[in-house]
Structure 1
Amino acid sequence: MNNMTDIIEQYIKQLFLEAKDDYITLKRSNVAEKFDCVPSQLNYVIKTRFTPEHGFIIESKRGGGGFIRITKITLQSDDYIDYLIETIEQVEAKEIDYIKILKILKNEKYIDYFDYEVMNNSLSILQKNTFDTLQLLDDIDILTTKKIKLTMDKNSKEMLLQFLTNIKYSKEKK
């Protein structure tokens, strides 16, 4: 049996399949009542499963006439890659969920399984080597440890940005 977040996610995805536009509008209270859950459960689903990285933009208005509008970003255009690049450039490296972004790129057919594995393994090796280095340095102070981790995060971010740029330009050549 699926948990409530999975059920609500599937319900919202089904609404998109039935919608004639690229957006749907929900009332928190109606969805909460339909699934006999609290409105915060819906908020959790939206914040974790309908993010820009997943290809959605959220618009929300609270109060009596409040609503949640979820708009699906058209993933077939280069605009999505541009959007990802711009978004990633603006956030701190430690806040980026690299694996989630790679999975979306694979699922939306921007990259194939091979490209996914190469990039995923590259990022994993970078992390592993960084943590192995930290373990070798027994007498390292906390500030130096933070600097090394920050460097790893920055390198991971730069790798992802370069990867996205390569995807963008390879799509333009086709």
Structure 2
Amino acid sequence: MGNLADRIEAYLKKILEEADEGFVILQRGVLAGEFSCAPSQINYVLGTRFTVERGYLVESRRGGGGYLRIIRLGWNHEGQFQNIIRQLIGNQLTYERALGLLSRLLEEEVISRREAAIIRTVVHPESLENDVIDSDLLRAHIMKRILTTLSREDLS
């Protein structure tokens, strides 16, 4: 099945799906042992594939009794994920972070592949090239408006 990072990601997503609480608690060393890799490889997967933009919170405690807690943020009527994302977007949003957010919206089936393609085009650096307005600032504003619209549509 692909490279080590892909296998670790798939494993973590699988156990998160099976978790009734919406989170899992693991030990980095034990997980690294299961995949015969260095703990830094686990850190890499968590840092690149389990980001807030993709709908995850990762709490980490190092040392003897250390653990990893991976929490999957839900797209629900309470708006937990939407509120966190709006706060994290702030006043600027890079294209890479926007793509991470789109990936999660697709995964949650909040948007279709076609809608994701349209949004990707709108927030692409070439679409936002402008000498007057900061592209990251404009991208953040656009994504906040999209999330607001999706939240309203989700409640109807």
TM-score range for the pair, normalised by the shorter chain length: 0.7 to 0.9
Higher CA-based Rg: 1
Provide the residue aligned with 2:87 in structure 1. Answer: 86
User: What is the aligned-residue identity percentage?
Assistant: 28
TM (norm. structure 1) is 0.78
Provide the residue aligned with 2:13 in structure 1. Answer: 13
Shift of 1:150: 6.6
Asked whether 1:102 is paired with 2:85, we answer: no
State whether residues 127 and 152 of structure 1, in contact with CA within 8 Å, keep that contact through their aligned partners in structure 2. Answer: no
The CA distance in 1 between the partners of 2:107 and 2:16, in whole Å, is 17
Q: Give CA-to-partner distance per residue, 1:95-135, whole Å, 9 cap, x none.
A: 752122122212212222332222112223x62562xx7xx
Distance 1:149 1:127, change over 3 A: farther
Counterpart of 1:163, as a letter, is I
Shift of 1:79: 2.2
Asked whether 1:156 is paired with 2:139, we answer: yes
User: How many corresponding residue pairs?
Assistant: 155
Counterpart of 2:49, as a letter, is R
Structure 1 unpaired stretches of 5+: 134-147
Name the SS for the 1:21 alignment partner.
coil
The CA distance in 1 between the partners of 2:134 and 2:112, in whole Å, is 29
Structure 2 unpaired stretches of 5+: none
Provide the residue aligned with 1:30 in structure 2. Answer: 30
TM (norm. structure 2) is 0.86
Name the SS for the 1:53 alignment partner.
coil
